[in-house]
Chain A
Amino acid sequence: TQLLEQSPQFLSIQEGENLTVYCNSSSVFSSLQWYRQEPGEGPVLLVTVVTGGEVKKLKRLTFQFGDARKDSSLHITAAQPGDTGLYLCAGLSLSGNTPLVFGKGTRLSVIA
């Protein structure tokens, strides 16, 4: 069974601080996606990374896919209260009966 471990599980920071969320696995994925989920809503796709070593930037968010395609990180610069939410990583499996494997998420709270 492929697993994605996210850390930390919870993060509470002050507005303006930087943070990094990690997503790790012992399995190789063909691609990796990051989602953000706000209370009462479904997850919203932020980015997909496909190539090992790939770095993508979305305004203050920087996503990186590990060289071996087993891990990924999300870095947020100068966090804002609007960044508050549950961040989920999801790996696209190369095989198996579950095409998309989700981590349990990192719950981020940014305090003004």
Chain B
Amino acid sequence: KAGVTQTPRYLIKTRGQQVTLSCSPISGHRSVSWYQQTPGQGLQFLFEYFSETQRNKGNFPGRFSGRQFSNSRSEMNVSTLELGDSALYLCASSLGPTTSYEQYFGPGTRLTVT
């Protein structure tokens, strides 16, 4: 089975711009979660989508949004970029709400805001 893919892998944006990141989950996985990883804060949960519905949301401002399509692919959008948004954005897929909730991560998108 192909793993989780994320595009683009690297992105450089300017403050105030917006960005859209894409994630394709493992075939058969219906849950997609997004995380922000920074050296100081570690891995922080952004949101989770299951069957096109947002199930959970982390403590991030409304500038961060996402959606999931009927084929389980997901996108996340960050509007009005700030310098502090520079991070590695990771997408993870799983079968869905199960006892173990094991996550399969993509390689991430490295976003740099200048």
Interface residues of A (CB under 8 A from B): 30-31, 33, 35, 40-45, 48, 50, 88, 90, 92, 97-105
B4 near A42 with CB under 8 A, answer yes
Are B100 and A97 in touch, CB under 8 angstroms?
no
**Complex formed: what's the CA distance from A49 to B97 in Å?**
17
Q: Decide if A45 touches B102 in the complex (CB within 8 Å).
A: yes
Q: Is B64 an interface residue (CB 8 A)?
A: no
Contacts A42-B4, A88-B43, A102-B42 hold; do A97 and B102 have CB atoms under 8 A apart?
no
Among listed B12-20, B70-78, B104-112, interface-contacting one: B104-112
Selected A-B contacts with CB under 8 Å, 27 pairs? A30-B99, A33-B100, A33-B103, A35-B103, A40-B107, A41-B108, A42-B4, A42-B108, A45-B102, A45-B103, A45-B104, A48-B100, A50-B100, A88-B43, A90-B43, A97-B58, A99-B33, A99-B45, A99-B56, A99-B101, A100-B45, A100-B103, A102-B35, A102-B42, A104-B42, A104-B43, A105-B43
Shortest distance from the beta carbon of A101 to any chain B beta carbon, whole Å: 8
Given A92-B101, A105-B42, the answer on whether A99 and B48 have CB atoms closer than 8 Å is yes
**Alpha-carbon distance A63/B43, docked complex (angstroms):** 21
Among all A-B residue pairs, the 4 with the closest Cβ atoms: A42-B105, A104-B42, A102-B43, A98-B45
Interface residues on B, range: 20 to 34
Q: Does B63 contact A (CB under 8 A)?
A: no
Q: Is the CB of A92 within 8 A of B105?
A: no
Known interface pairs A31-B100, A104-B43, A105-B42; 10 further A-B residue pairs with C-beta atoms within 8 A, sorted by A's residue number: A30-B99, A33-B100, A42-B92, A42-B105, A43-B105, A45-B103, A97-B57, A100-B101, A102-B44, A105-B43
